[in-house]
Amino acid sequence: MECPNCKSTNVGKIGNNLYFCRDCNCEIKIKKCTAVVSMYDAEGCVTKRFKVCYNA
């Protein structure tokens, strides 16, 4: 899949409907046709969270 945030394909599956982008350190949770993207800083705190439309 493609990262909805940075468009990188360096995305790994870490769980059920859960992905992680290694390029921008964001977690992507897929819910039907919506992707919830959570951005993390170096300490592992969520700095930003947003939803995007996602077509599998």
Residue 11 near residue 3 (C-beta atoms within 8 A) = yes
User: Given candidates 1, 6, 36, 39, which one binds Zn ion under the rule CB under 5 A?
Assistant: 6
Q: What are the structure tokens assigned to 51, written together? A: 């939803």
Q: How far is the CB of 24 from Zn ion (least distance, A)?
A: 3
Is there binding between residue 8 and Zn ion (CB under 5 A)? yes
User: Given candidates 1, 24, 36, 39, which one binds Zn ion under the rule CB under 5 A?
Assistant: 24
Cα of 53 vs its chain's centroid, Å: 12
Least Cα distance to 3 among 47, 48, 52, 41 occurs for 52
Q: How far is the CB of 25 from Zn ion (least distance, A)?
A: 8
Q: Which residues bind Zn ion (CB under 5 A)?
A: 3, 5-6, 8, 21, 23-24
